[in-house]
């Protein structure tokens, strides 16, 4: 896989948080490349900048300096709305705490990215059915997040991340809030997605979870170790 | 036009109706209170005007007095009277007078059908009707020029006099005895609202042609002369001319305020006008305060509800919402809540005002009910209200949403 086309490329990415008077450098010059179809895990001690890095890769946050090329295109110059459509179509993001809309049903949560992508009702219905079937929760489509277990909520979040069939799936400790059985279910799904050819970047603390990936990037104090 | 997003917004709005119910209710309640309050205020003000105009507008009433200034070699303290021939003199000398009528009265026993009551009986000319708003009930009339010229024994009576003698029966054509002389009733005064009166309410009065009255009354002078100037603006001028003309005739100083008793309704009207203004200002201030408190409350609620949704905005941005999609959703929701609350407030206020107006007023004079039970619904107030509250609510709803949409998705997601 080493000769594969680079899909994500970071060069000297820095992220500085201004906290009152002093500045905190969460990332101090991270450079890395991830090839299309790779399954990479990111590990490192707490506070080492893993989430900060993932948020930048996921276009949820912008770096203080450095360059980020996504499919060869520099992300720095893009407008908010251009980034929105990247988040909508190129990247799927799974959070540790799920981040589902609490007032909406499982079905409706999965529908949101499809709505923002302008899909018509028939195509939405078709796609949501497909996705909920894939994560094994079609029967739970009318349930709200509060009526679902953590593992189920994360599967809904995963279905939502995959709504517009993005080439890249990003997951920040997707199993962090789950029991080991649910965690294994999620990992099984991620493994399957990788085999389908998707690029996966996942943060984890757990070596057994990291073992599912091809390669591990280790962060320490905001730098690649 | 693609309705996918608007439909989605509508669905989300419905789902969260409970969260915004309080705002909707606050808007409803605020609209209701302000509109009702102002409707009652308007009503009071309008009714005061109606009541005041019951006496007749732009009227000068002249009666005799007592001189208080030495003038032309005559001592002060002389009684000054006005006489029937003053009518012709004043009309001739003061062209600004539009209508002029004499009036004298006396308290006499009036009887009919074996019942005798003491009533005030007036002698006056046909012009009096227009001056003092003496509108006859259908089937009757006021004294006319022929009655006056021929000294006919006819009478125009208040509706209570008619009721006292004839009950519900038609009074016109019946006979009443005034001071032992029989008179035929030619008309009954129509009921009217009146809060400014002299000599008791019009309902209890009896009017005779001046010529006929003079035959049964021995008083040579008039009790009053009623004058209506051609225009409201001429009122003070006419008043001064009357003092000058009569001063020359009866030899008193025109500057002597006590030589004649002059009641000029324009003075009252000005006083009354000030009172109406004060009432309106008072209610306006209360309305503005109510509006302000309501608007602050609604604004606050709106702001809190939208802020609470920063995380939701973060989630939506993370899965691909554009900035304008986020802002549009909040604009539509705000519009929805605003329209719903104010619509129902308006409908309710409108109906309450309508229902209150259906309550019949008591026919006796002009009680408190006439002021309280005739609220006037005014659209101008409603639109001003909509404008002010609308602006505030919109700012309160859109400002935090716009601010949230300016955040990075991750900042919005982390927002507590
Ligand atoms: N919004 C922020 N403002 C200020 N400092 C921040 C912010 N987000 C993160 N940090 C700081 O940046 C550093 C890196 O944080 P980050 O969340 O990326 O670590 P992490 O590796 O994901 O840790 P964990 O394993 O605990 O999730 C930490 O010191 C953290 O306190
Ligand atoms: Mg983290």
DSSP string, B33-64: HHHHHHHHHHHHHHHHHHHHHTT-SS-EEEEE
A204 lines ligand 1 (CB under 6 A): no
A15 lines ligand 1 (CB under 6 A): no
What's the half-sphere exposure (Cβ side, CA atoms, 13 Å) at B122? 27
Give the distance (Å) from ligand 2 centre to CA of residue A184. Answer: 20
Q: What's the pLDDT tens digit per position in A147-167?
A: 999 999 999 999 999 999 999
**Whose CA is closest to B192, among B58, B42, B364, B359?**
B364
User: Using CA atoms, how far apart are residues A109 and A145, in angstroms rounded to an integer?
Assistant: 9
Which of B2, B17, B318 would best serve as a mutation to test chain A binding (most A beta carbons within 10 A)? Answer: B318
How far apart are the two ends of chain A, measured CA to CA in Å?
Answer: 22
A98 touches chain B (CB under 8 A): no
Contact at 8 Å (CB) between A150 and A158?
Answer: no
Contact at 8 Å (CB) between B141 and B114?
Answer: no
Shortest distance between the Cα of A225 and any Cα of chain B, in A, equals 26
Which of A62, A92, A101, A161 would best serve as a mutation to test chain B binding (most B beta carbons within 10 A)? Answer: A101
Highest averaged pLDDT of the listed ranges A39-53, B326-340, B345-359, B374-388: A39-53
B319 to A113: CB separation less than 8 angstroms, yes or no: yes
Per-residue confidence (pLDDT) for residue B193, from 0 to 100: 56
Per-residue confidence (pLDDT) for residue B107, from 0 to 100: 92
Contact at 8 Å (CB) between B137 and B192?
Answer: no
User: Using CA atoms, how far apart are residues A59 and A69, in angstroms rounded to an integer?
Assistant: 11
Per-residue confidence (pLDDT) for residue B400, from 0 to 100: 79
A52 lines ligand 1 (CB under 6 A): yes
What is the pTM (predicted TM-score) of this model?
0.69
Which chain B residues are closer than 8 Å to A89 by Cβ? 320
User: Using CA atoms, how far apart are residues B24 and B336, in angstroms rounded to an integer?
Assistant: 9
Which chain A residues are closer than 8 Å to B413 by Cβ? 60, 95, 99
Per-residue confidence (pLDDT) for residue A2, from 0 to 100: 47
Q: Nearest C-alpha to atom 11 of ligand 1 is from which residue?
A: A26
Contact at 8 Å (CB) between A1 and A38?
Answer: yes
User: Using CA atoms, how far apart are residues B14 and B356, in angstroms rounded to an integer?
Assistant: 35
A81 touches chain B (CB under 8 A): yes
Q: What's the pLDDT tens digit per position in B166-188?
A: 988 999 999 999 999 999 999 99
Helix, coil or strand: residue A98: coil
Q: Name the residue with higher pLDDT: A75 or B191.
A: A75
What mean pLDDT do residues B346-351 have?
92
Task: Please determine, for residue B197, whether its predicted confidence score (pLDDT) is greater than 60.
Answer: no
User: Using CA atoms, how far apart are residues B410 and B366, in angstroms rounded to an integer?
Assistant: 70
User: Using CA atoms, how far apart are residues B188 and B137, in angstroms rounded to an integer?
Assistant: 6
What mean pLDDT do residues A51-74 have?
95
A116 to B322: CB separation less than 8 angstroms, yes or no: yes
How far apart are the two ends of chain B, measured CA to CA in Å?
Answer: 37
| pLDDT over 70, % of chain B | 93
Among B15, B321, B410, the residue with its CB nearest the CB of A84 is: B321
* Complex confidence, ipTM: 0.95
CB atoms within 10 A of CB A91: 26
Reported as a pLDDT band with limits 50, 70 and 90, residue B297 is: confident
* CA-to-CA dists, residue A142 to A137, B13, B103, B251, angstroms: 10, 18, 89, 103
Query: Could you tell me if residue B88 is left (phi over 0), alpha (psi between -120 and 50 degrees) or otherwise beta?
Result: alpha
B12 to A117: CB separation less than 8 angstroms, yes or no: no
């Amino acid at each position: 896989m080493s000769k594969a086309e680079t899909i994500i490329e970071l060069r000297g990415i820095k992220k500085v948080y201004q906290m009152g008077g002093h500045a905190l450098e969460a990332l101090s010059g991270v450079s890395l490349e991830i090839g299309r179809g790779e399954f990479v895990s990111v590990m490192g001690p707490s506070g080492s900048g893993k989430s900060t890095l993932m948020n930048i890769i996921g276009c949820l946050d912008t770096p203080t300096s450095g360059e980020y090329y996504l499919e060869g295109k520099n992300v720095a110059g893009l407008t908010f709305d251009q980034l929105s459509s990247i988040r909508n179509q190129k990247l799927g993001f799974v959070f540790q705490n799920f981040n589902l809309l609490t007032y909406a049903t499982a079905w409706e949560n999965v529908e949101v990215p499809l709505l923002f992508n302008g899909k018509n009702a028939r195509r939405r219905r078709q796609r949501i059915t497909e996705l909920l079937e894939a994560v094994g929760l079609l029967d739970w489509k009318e349930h709200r997040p509060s009526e679902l277990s953590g593992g189920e909520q994360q599967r809904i979040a995963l279905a939502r991340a995959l709504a517009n069939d993005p080439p890249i799936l990003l997951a920040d400790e997707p199993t962090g809030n789950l029991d080991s059985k649910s965690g294994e279910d999620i990992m099984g799904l991620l493994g399957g997605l990788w085999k389908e050819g998707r690029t996966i970047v996942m943060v984890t603390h757990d070596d057994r979870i990291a073992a599912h990936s091809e390669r591990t990037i280790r962060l320490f104090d905001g730098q690649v170790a | 036009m693609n309705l996918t997003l608007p439909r989605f917004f509508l669905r989300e709005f419905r789902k969260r109706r409970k969260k915004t119910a309080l705002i909707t209710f606050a808007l409803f309640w605020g609209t209701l209170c302000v509109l009702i309050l102002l409707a009652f205020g308007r009503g009071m003000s309008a009714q005061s005007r109606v009541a005041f105009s019951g006496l007749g507008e732009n009227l000068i009433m002249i009666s005799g007095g007592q001189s208080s200034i030495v003038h032309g070699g005559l001592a002060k303290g002389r009684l000054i009277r006005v006489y029937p021939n003053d009518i012709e003199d004043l009309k001739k000398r003061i062209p600004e007078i539009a209508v002029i009528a004499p009036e004298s009265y006396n308290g006499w026993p009036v009887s009919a059908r074996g019942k005798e009551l003491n009533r005030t009986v007036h002698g006056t000319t046909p012009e009096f009707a227009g001056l003092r708003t003496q509108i006859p009930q259908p089937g009757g009339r006021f004294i006319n020029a022929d009655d006056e010229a021929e000294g006919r024994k006819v009478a125009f009576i208040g509706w209570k006099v008619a009721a006292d003698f004839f009950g519900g029966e038609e009074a016109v054509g019946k006979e009443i005895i005034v001071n032992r002389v029989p008179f035929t009733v030619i008309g009954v005064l129509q009921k009217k609202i009146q809060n400014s009166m002299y000599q008791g309410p019009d309902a209890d009065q009896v009017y005779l042609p001046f010529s006929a009255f003079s035959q049964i009354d021995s008083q040579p002078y008039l009790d009053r002369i009623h004058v209506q100037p051609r225009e409201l603006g001429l009122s003070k001028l006419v008043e001064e001319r009357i003092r000058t003309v009569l001063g020359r005739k009866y030899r008193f100083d025109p500057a002597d305020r006590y030589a004649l008793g002059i009641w000029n309704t324009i003075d009252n009207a000005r006083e009354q006008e000030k009172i109406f203004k004060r009432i309106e200002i008072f209610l306006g201030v209360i309305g503005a305060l109510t509006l302000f408190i309501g608007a602050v409350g609604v604004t606050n609620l709106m702001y809190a509800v939208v802020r609470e949704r920063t995380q939701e905005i973060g989630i939506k941005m993370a899965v691909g919402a554009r900035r304008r999609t986020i802002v549009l959703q909040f604009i539509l929701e705000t519009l929805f809540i605003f329209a719903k609350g104010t619509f129902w407030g308006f409908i309710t206020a409108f109906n309450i005002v309508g229902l209150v107006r259906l309550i019949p007023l008591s026919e006796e004079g002009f009680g408190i009910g006439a002021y309280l039970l005739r609220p006037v619904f005014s659209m101008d107030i409603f639109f001003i209200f909509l404008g002010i509250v609308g602006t505030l609510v919109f700012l309160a709803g859109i400002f935090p949403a716009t601010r949230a949409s300016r955040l990075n998705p991750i900042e919005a997601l982390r927002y507590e």
